[in-house]
Structure 1
């Protein structure tokens, strides 16, 4: 079960496939607000939660900022970024573990970068330090890296990176983390390092190209049942409630 986004995430993915990035920004905004208000049944957004389900709400708001920038709606992107920074900082009063606080600082960097605000690099460096400082409280960094909070914080980077990578996974989970889980601080701090080095240019490329790929869901290559009417690919990506071309993220057609 995902978080309770009221169907707005699916609507946002549909809008991306239609190349309507302003509408996608609106739908991601609504998804973010909905999840932040009521993440899941019996989950209080202002209560301690070791899984960090509110991360989905933050991710949707950050994604909305990128959508607005691709759509040329920079003012709305700025507002979403300012809002997201405030929410991420405020959630340190709810989520209790220091490694979650580090991830929330990572989100601050995401919002500043996605919205084109100043201070993105500084926020990522602050997150690196926070991960190192939290190391003594982390027994299993790999487990933390797969909680909903941390997965949500990785999703937008991976989504934006799909565009120039022909729809493939350009930044896998392994590349986003360090090589030695016995050094949990370095292992998790690598997330902020990778984002600091790659996320700004990926966002700028999406804006320059006027193209943001859909998130990657379940995929199938070289199918005999779907073909993209736009680019001819038979590679398929099932994501949310959409069936889109793995390559160009447009709706694909059933040819059975």
Structure 2
């Protein structure tokens, strides 16, 4: 998180890459590896590779950005091989994100279309509940992360009705490319939103003066501008 806060994008790209590899092997988070049947970590790993690719793009290392996109795509395709139903469709959705990062718009659209068809064919009783499955939750977390500081929420992505999965695909098809482009234009990827607190007098952002903080990965960041904030003694 400090690498993104200090805008050391090369280091951030490397750290997200290593996080993806560690997640696949079950060394991160809840210690679940990629081929865990119900609680796979593969979606998180794919999304870390997308984050890594974006950071490399911000660092001006386009070859590495494309490599991470291709790694994520290969992982998504391989995971679909061992998944079915909603989870298989989620793999196509994740593939769409990787194709979008790689600037392969037509192939991204094809992947999102397959995801939409897969979600429809799965015909789940509780579409909103299905979004909490690990492969889908990872995708939601990626979209909300890319949207910062505007902070797109679950309802923005899924709506409130029974068409949560179809609305989700429509949202990511139209917005992920915009969100990635916005981060590149701003030359900034904010840290994901963790636990937040507002008007905390013991913290003052050295860059913008805000007292609103974001507690994430054992680091305290300014909620407004993402700078590292130290507690006043």
Residue 53 of structure 1 deviates from its aligned partner by 2.6
Residue 187 of structure 1 deviates from its aligned partner by 1.8
- 1:209 matched to 2:196? The reply is no
Aligned partner of 2:138 among 143, 147, 152: 152
| Structure 1 unmatched ranges of 5 or more | 1-12
Q: 1:84 to 1:132 in 2, by over 3 A?
A: same
What is aligned with 1:117? 104
What is aligned with 1:91? 79
| Deviations, residues 38-67 of structure 1 (Å, cap 9, x unaligned) | 267784533422x33322111111111111
What is aligned with 2:56? 68
What is aligned with 1:129? 117
Aligned partner of 1:176 among 148, 152, 157: 157
Contact 1:65 1:80 in 2 (8 A): yes
Scaled by the length of structure 2, the TM-score of the pair is 0.92
Residue 106 of structure 1 deviates from its aligned partner by 0.6
What is aligned with 1:106? 93
Distance 1:64 1:221 in 2: 29
Q: 1:42 to 1:220 in 2, by over 3 A?
A: closer
| Deviations, residues 69-119 of structure 1 (Å, cap 9, x unaligned) | 122111111111111111101012333x31001111110011111233342
Residue 143 of structure 1 deviates from its aligned partner by 2.2
Scaled by the length of structure 1, the TM-score of the pair is 0.84
Secondary structure of the 2:196 match is: strand
Distance 2:177 2:143 in 1: 10
Secondary structure of the 2:190 match is: coil
Distance 2:81 2:215 in 1: 37
- 1:22 matched to 2:22? The reply is no
Q: Give the count of matched residue pairs.
A: 231
Distance 2:139 2:104 in 1: 18
Distance 2:94 2:232 in 1: 41
What is aligned with 1:248? 225
Distance 2:89 2:159 in 1: 16
What is aligned with 1:8? none
Aligned partner of 1:187 among 164, 172, 179: 164
RMSD: 1.8
Q: Which 10-residue stretch deviates more, 243-252 or 144-153?
A: 144-153
Aligned partner of 2:69 among 68, 76, 81: 81
Distance 1:39 1:127 in 2: 29
Distance 1:224 1:29 in 2: 36
What is aligned with 1:237? 214
